[in-house]
Structure 1
Amino acid sequence: MTTLLAFIFAIVVLVVFHELGHYMVARWCDVKVLRFSLGFGKVMYAKRFGNGETEWVISAIPLGGYVKMLDEREGEVSATDLPRAFNRKPVLQRMAIVVAGPVANLLLAVLLYWALFIYGVPGVKPVLGEVKPGTPAAMAMLHERDILVAIDGIAVPSWQDARWVLLDRVLQGKQARLDVQSAQGDTALRTLRLADLTAADLDGDFMAKLGLQPYQPPVYPVIGKLVADGAGQRGGLREGDRIVRVEGAAMPFWRDWVEVVRAHPQQPLRVEIERAGQLQQLIITPDRIEENHAAIGRIGAAPQIDRAAFDAMLIEVSYPPLRAVEEALRKTWETSVISLKMMAKMVVGEVSLKNLSGPITIADYAGQSA
């Protein structure tokens, strides 16, 4: 329900600004505007303000709108109103009225980006996680915990910014020059090859195909929470216990412990734990559950998370008002250009239609943002 309401609200805002663009320029060109409608279908509310010539309307279906102008092609026009008919206006004025709607939406985008950049946009620091061998990132000599500082001279303060700039370079088929800073503070210039990516790679996580993934602080095998009467609690685990070994194999990270548990449904495991500085032995039998038509083990436990370490990976990108205007203009331009490039590649079949964001994507994104 939240997603639907947010979707309708987003559409209404876009439509209002779009139609206001047409309306304002039509008025400046002295074109008589007969109706400004928000929505289509049956008229639910109509109002004229004072002696105004425009009827302001709210219609039943709020998924669009229109501005109806005086036009001889749509009906008889009195002699006194002929100079104010749309079709009687010079070509440049008619063109200005037509393009005013899209321009208004672009100005809205600039305004919203400007407000966001002043308020602050939360993001993830552009720190690299594990770089897998054989990937373009590995061949560019990038390493785990390297920080992306800039791409082709464009500063990338967050992971989202880095992804956006690289998407543009991928669409151009160019290689990218990366300014990076190592975990030790050394700076270097790396060249990342992008030409090997295929159209199918853009359907998924193209950053992973490049060997780029955000760094995540290690999660150690320390019990943070236990499900009441779960297999872990029944087996004697307590919050704060550290898993040292399972069946004699060391467990350096939580993911290692999870893999073993999932692989042994209803099979007893010899688990060595550390509790209050003392080693103890437990026998834990994971419960059996079905996941994606396969049997896996589960004990009902969650890890102890170092919140400070994860919070340290977050960043809030903000700018002073004047700089925010510059960034808002740049972001709006980049978004428009990249969208057009994606559409062009869809037309020629180089990119899948899965990348086309329509009303469903808008609805989902609006719901997540609400």
Structure 2
Amino acid sequence: MLTTVLAFLVTIGVLVVIHEYGHYRAAVACNVKVLRFSVGFGRVLWRRQRGETEFVISALPLGGYVKMLDEREAPVHVADQARAFNRKPLWQRAFIVAAGPAANLALAVLLYAVVNWAGVQELKARLAAPVPASIAANAGMQSGDEVLALAPSGGDVPQASDWLPVRSMNDLQWHLTNAVLQSGDLRLQVRRMGQGGAPGETVELLLGTAKLSAADVDPKLMDRLGFSGPYASAEIRRVIEGGPAEAAGLKAGDKVLSLDGREPRDAGQLRQWISQSARDGVARPLAVVVSRQGQSVELSVTPVIKTEGDQRVPRIVAEIGSPVEMVMVNYGALEGFTKAAQRTWDVSTLTLDMLGKMVIGQASLKNLSGPLTIADYAGRSAELGWAYYLGFLAMVSVSLGVLNLLPLPMLDGGHLMYYLFEGVTGRPVSDAWLERLQRGGVAVMFLMMSLALYNDFARLLGMH
């Protein structure tokens, strides 16, 4: 809990400081007098005067602001009028406003680059057996398949330059999300698993991602496609004392060759067979053949019925499955930076695409997250290590930059729309219209925040 709170506060603090610092530096560059640089809102907890600017930390940490000299807010001495924000040329005002979101996007590029250079351990894109009759199963995916590369399926045979390498499970999930949003199928280059886990033949498969719509893009997307998770072999990793597995003589390291005469393809299928083995709610003995130190051993294990949620399922009380394979993903100096810039662009366009589809009802509103979800993921990534946390921080920084560029009053994008109107018509938006738009913007922001908080609580309560 403490890690989650600290990681969340650092996340908000860093992103707010960077955003407001973008506005601040642009204002200074345009010779606008900055009166206050605040991290947070409300009661001031700490303050320090540096030159003509007061730097403060306020009680409510969800945001911040840069207060500039402006005749629309208070009378300005004649000697300072040239340094008032409202007196500056249109392009300078637009530059100052846009500098905040731009700083967030620049930070994301830097953070992604650091992660690319340092490298992170990620799940290998080797998959367990797909769900029967699912999109993945219909494509011909098999247990142990490793996805090496993918390409859009536009009817033509993909050229070598069309294939995008898949270096990890994160890569695969990212490309699958994009494919579903773009309503297109994917071609996959897949390496089969040979005997004893050795690399087998490489085949090309067509994955029907176009069968799903943008409304299906949510945390359960992989389930909808039929992917049941990373591959782990059907072996006993740990036997828990006092359980049926120990009583039957099963030992850690045993490779399960068959269960009641059926050969499990992976750990997921073995777990599924055990959980479905009861008859009329009563556990029955299961014949198990395992490989132990090169020899086959025949055993019989009778699961115990466990209550899990509102279900009663058989369990042998042992950890099943070999450790999943991991791969180090890192890049050289130039490639790491270019991929960081590309990832920032991709996340930005994906965010806008998702928001647009949510507005017109083509994507689920469940994808809108609030501070509780951000705090949860901040804590999880921090526990995994600093590189994972920086990657998370980069993604949130992109989201903050993009959201602030939306043409909504109260956001930077709303002010840029005002300046666009002024540039086209030669006159600023009237005070009456500014007031109406401001009220409308407050209502939209309130609705978005309410929905985001509802989604947060729904996730915490298991409703989503």
Q: Normalization by structure 2: what TM-score?
A: 0.68
Counterparts of 1:185-264 in structure 2, within 5 Å, are 186-220=201-235, 222=236, 224-227=238-241, 229-233=242-246, 235=247, 237=249, 239-240=251-252, 249-250=260-261, 252-253=263-264, 254-255=270-271, 258-259=274-275
Counterparts of 1:24-173 in structure 2, within 5 Å, are 24-49=25-50, 52-132=51-131, 134-144=133-143, 145-152=145-152, 153=162, 154-173=164-183
The structure with more helix, counted as a fraction of residues = 2
Unaligned runs of 5+ in 2: 153-161, 194-198, 265-269, 383-464
> In 1, are the aligned partners of 2:8 and 2:378 still within 8 Å (CA)?
yes
d(CA) in 2 for partners of 1:272, 1:175 = 41
Letter in 2 for 1:178: L
Please point out which of 285, 303, 306 is paired with 1:269: 285
Alpha carbons of structure 1 residues 268 and 208: separation in structure 2 relative to 1, 3 Å: closer
Alpha carbons of structure 1 residues 192 and 239: separation in structure 2 relative to 1, 3 Å: closer
Letter in 2 for 1:56: F
> In 2, are the aligned partners of 1:223 and 1:242 still within 8 Å (CA)?
no
- Stretch deviating more after TM superposition (16-25 or 180-189): 180-189
- Stretch deviating more after TM superposition (114-123 or 192-201): 192-201
Alpha carbons of structure 1 residues 112 and 243: separation in structure 2 relative to 1, 3 Å: closer
> In 2, are the aligned partners of 1:32 and 1:84 still within 8 Å (CA)?
yes
- Stretch deviating more after TM superposition (168-177 or 14-23): 168-177
Letter in 1 for 2:233: P
d(CA) in 2 for partners of 1:244, 1:214 = 21
User: Residues 207-263 of structure 1, C-alpha deviation per residue, up to 9 Å, x if partnerless?
Assistant: 33334455413223x473222x34554x463635777887xx236444266336666
Q: Name which one, 1 or 2, has greater alpha-carbon Rg.
A: 1
d(CA) in 2 for partners of 1:238, 1:213 = 26
Counterparts of 1:301-340 in structure 2, within 5 Å, are 301-303=318-320, 306-307=322-323, 310=324, 313-340=325-352
> In 2, are the aligned partners of 1:264 and 1:297 still within 8 Å (CA)?
no
* Root-mean-square deviation over aligned CA pairs: 3.0
User: Residues 253-290 of structure 1, C-alpha deviation per residue, up to 9 Å, x if partnerless?
Assistant: 442663366668775637567788696766x6644432
> In 2, are the aligned partners of 1:243 and 1:251 still within 8 Å (CA)?
no
d(CA) in 1 for partners of 2:135, 2:375 = 35
Please point out which of 295, 307, 330 is paired with 1:290: 307
Unaligned runs of 5+ in 1: none
d(CA) in 2 for partners of 1:23, 1:181 = 52
> In 1, are the aligned partners of 2:181 and 2:214 still within 8 Å (CA)?
no
**How much has 1:80 moved relative to structure 2?**
0.6
Alpha carbons of structure 1 residues 204 and 263: separation in structure 2 relative to 1, 3 Å: farther
Letter in 1 for 2:240: L
> In 1, are the aligned partners of 2:192 and 2:202 still within 8 Å (CA)?
yes
> In 2, are the aligned partners of 1:223 and 1:238 still within 8 Å (CA)?
no
Q: Normalization by structure 1: what TM-score?
A: 0.84
- Stretch deviating more after TM superposition (334-343 or 193-202): 193-202
Letter in 2 for 1:226: I
Query: What secondary structure is seen at the aligned counterpart in 2 of 1:126?
Result: coil
Please point out which of 361, 373, 380 is paired with 1:349: 361
2:381 is aligned to 369
d(CA) in 1 for partners of 2:200, 2:289 = 37
> In 1, are the aligned partners of 2:214 and 2:357 still within 8 Å (CA)?
no
Identity %: 41
User: Residues 41-79 of structure 1, C-alpha deviation per residue, up to 9 Å, x if partnerless?
Assistant: 111111113xx0000111112111110000001101001
2:416 is aligned to none
Letter in 2 for 1:167: T
> In 2, are the aligned partners of 1:288 and 1:296 still within 8 Å (CA)?
yes
Alpha carbons of structure 1 residues 63 and 223: separation in structure 2 relative to 1, 3 Å: closer
Letter in 1 for 2:261: A
> In 2, are the aligned partners of 1:243 and 1:273 still within 8 Å (CA)?
yes
